[in-house]
Amino acid sequence: MFDTMRLTKIVGSLCGALLILLLSKWAAELLYTTGGGHGDGHSAAYVIDTGEADAHGEAAADEGPSLAELFAAADLEKGAKVFGKCKACHKLEDGANATGPYLYGVVGRKVDSAAGYGYSGALEKVVEVWTPEALDGFLENPKSYAPGTAMGFSGLKKPEDRANVIAYLDQTDGTTYEMDVPAAEEASAEEPAVEETHQEAAAEEPAAEEPAAEEPVAEEPAAEEPAAEEPAAEEAASTGASGFAGMVAAADLAKGEKVYKKCKACHALEDGKNRVGPHLFGLVGRAVASVDGFGYSGALQGIGGDWTVDQLNAWLEDPKGFAPGNKMSFAGVRKEEDRAAVIAYLGTIGN
């Protein structure tokens, strides 16, 4: 049994230990306190800049070009290569559904509108029209953008890849989607030379896999000045020809240069430089199927004559209808004013 003395010692020891603990805590606060000891109104004598304050601002500055800039400067040859990832489930031919819906004319098309395809219903809950912005968001992360979508593709992580493939898909139906580019961006988007701009391929499939073109519009200009803005126009007017020739005479060459980008993947502007299709140097007024070193189909060789503005107009409107059996898979340029503009532009190359 404990006697009174032993119990007193035990209690005293506990109290002593507690007192030592409290005194140690008080001493530590005095020695290592982080406060200035001057109350709430004190301020630090100086601040060490760790760079964290500007982290968010710098991140925003490093976000890179906008989608509008990337779309305007898209490389359609690269877009055709990126599309190779989609070919297992999607076709470019109008109405040809596969595992996924066909992608002919998908840019600007209403969501869930491919006839004959059974959609999951997830897409129409988040978007109505396939604008470039909507496609960019969907292609970045399909499952996150439209939860419940049946598409198993994991997405395209690089913004440049998404812009290139969207621009490539944009040319499949012969029309182009115009994105609004802020004034500050337009200057940089329009200035770069040939290989950097929004080229729109003249082929439904990647150029390496499907021989596309015979004699259509041409490759983007190599940063040439819009010098000879009048030659083709004046020539058409002086020959006094058709109403279409008058449209060519009054056409906007800058617009024609943009339309021409549809042809760059398969046609070069340099004299003698053939690609999948023949070069377009001096195209307006030259004999049909006359480029040295290019193997034309019998469909074009049998036409004869020259590439007049009216001949080119008919050809560009419907290549398959103009020369049935020709090798060019380009769907054509639907708008007459676009055809007039691009023919006027081509008239300044080599003429």
Residues 140 and 166 in one domain: yes
In the chain, how many domains are there? 2
pLDDT at site 263: 84
pLDDT of 289 higher than 70? yes
Average pLDDT score over residue span 109-127 = 91
Helix pair angle (336-346, 231-238), 10° resolution: 110
Average pLDDT score over residue span 255-273 = 87
Report which DSSP code applies to 266: T
Residue 309 resides in a domain = yes
Residue 2 resides in a domain = no
Q: How far is CA 80 from CA 76, 164, 279, 297, 299, in A?
A: 6, 8, 20, 24, 27
CB 333 within 8 A of CB 244: no
Boundary (domain end) residue, out of 200, 218, 239 = 200
pLDDT at site 24: 87
Residues in the chain: 351
State the Cα–Cα distance between residues 342 and 146, nearest whole angstrom. Answer: 39
pLDDT of 151 higher than 50? yes
Q: What is the tens place of the pLDDT at every residue in 166-208?
A: 999 998 887 788 876 555 444 444 444 333 334 433 333 333 3
pLDDT of 53 higher than 90? no
Residues 253 and 294 in one domain: yes
pLDDT of 31 higher than 70? yes
Residue 144 resides in a domain = yes
Output the CA angle 77-300-332, nearest 5 degrees: 45
DSSP-H helix ranges across 224-281: 231-238, 243-249, 253-260
Q: What is the tens place of the pLDDT at every residue in 200-248?
A: 333 333 333 333 334 443 334 333 333 334 444 444 444 444 699 999 9
Determine the distance from the C-alpha atom of residue 289 to the mean position of all C-alpha atoms in its chain, rounded to a whole number.
33
Q: How confident is the model at residue 50 (pLDDT cuts 50, 70, 90)?
A: low
Task: Return left, alpha or beta for 223; rule: phi > 0 is left, psi -120 to 50 is alpha, else beta.
Answer: left
Q: What is the tens place of the pLDDT at every residue in 65-105?
A: 889 889 888 888 899 999 999 988 999 999 999 989 999 99
Hunting for tokens 């050809």 — which residue is that? 315
Position with higher pLDDT, 313 vs 61: 313
pLDDT at site 26: 86
Query: Tokens for 335?
Result: 């708008």
Average pLDDT of every residue of the chain: 77
Sign of the CA dihedral running 29, 32, 34, 37: positive
Burial class of residue 347, CB neighbours in 10 A (0-12, 13-18, 19+):
buried
User: How many H-runs (helices) and E-runs (strands) does the chain carry?
Assistant: 15, 0
Boundary (domain end) residue, out of 200, 215, 242 = 200
Residue 278 resides in a domain = yes
Which residues are registered as beta bridge partners of 110?
129
- At 10, which helix (H) or strand (E)? helix 4-32
Residue 283 resides in a domain = yes
pLDDT at site 320: 86
Residues 175 and 207 in one domain: no
pLDDT of 351 higher than 60? yes
Q: At 196, which CATH number?
A: 1.10.760.10
pLDDT at site 33: 58
Range of the structural domain that residue 227 is part of: 203-351
Residue 172 resides in a domain = yes
Q: How confident is the model at residue 136 (pLDDT cuts 50, 70, 90)?
A: very high
Residue 140 resides in a domain = yes
Query: Tokens for 317?
Result: 């409107």
